[in-house]
Amino acid sequence: MRTKPLKGTVALTFDDGPTEIYTPQILAILKKYNIKATFFMVGVNAKNHPDLVRQVLAEGHAVNNHSLTHPMLTKLNNEQLIKEVNMPAVIINNIIGQKPLCLRYPFGASNQHVRDVIRQYGMAPVPMGFNSFDYNRPGTDKIVSWVLKNAYSGQVILMHDGFAKREQTVEALPRIIEGIKKKGLGFSQICAEKTPTTT
């Protein structure tokens, strides 16, 4: 299991889902381009949309943990922290029969204790990678140009399929994929059982 993409590739990652509106649209785009991505799911959303969790896995994408309710993990007491780390892993395991290999901490916020607890529950802590800032909804063109300007071999790209108003992410994704291909880069997954690579 790798937490960094293969050389010559980038990893597309999606946080905060799954959501009924945007996750299926993103899955359809990834399928069209034959790209396998990595999804970091919020536990409550996974619980509310188990069919989408199954679909993400069935289409060859990696399903991982992004906490139960998306709090700042560094501000929680130990009991709250354990719940936020462990409960989504239980929820996801109950839905798809496999535990997440990684937890990406919300807001990119962690400390030694947070990382230790994530490891204690059998997951690797992973940072956010390159922030597309798609959640700020700056406009599709700005998202595309920002990501493409900064795309390079071995980069993990952070985008979002939840919580709300991700139309710009959906619109930007095909152009981002095409632009990355024009740079001569392929795509690989992080935090996956198997690591298919697509070019």
Of the residues 15, 16, 134, 161, only one is catalytic, namely 15
Cis peptide, bond prior to residue 18, ω within 30 of zero: yes
Could you give the CA distance from residue 56 to residue 62 in angstroms, rounded to a whole number? 7
Choose among 54, 36, 48, 47: nearest CA to 191.
36
Our answer to whether residue 160 is catalytic in this structure is yes
134 is catalytic: no
Catalytic, out of 16, 61, 160, 161: 160
The residues near 170 (Cβ < 8 Å, ≥ 6 apart) are 22, 25, 26, 29
Nearest to residue 156, comparing CAs of 121, 192, 123?
A: 192
Instruction: Give the angle 82-87-93 at the CA atoms, nearest 5°.
Output: 135
Give the separation between CA 153 and CA 150, rounded to whole angstroms. Answer: 10
List, by residue number, the catalytic residues: 15, 160
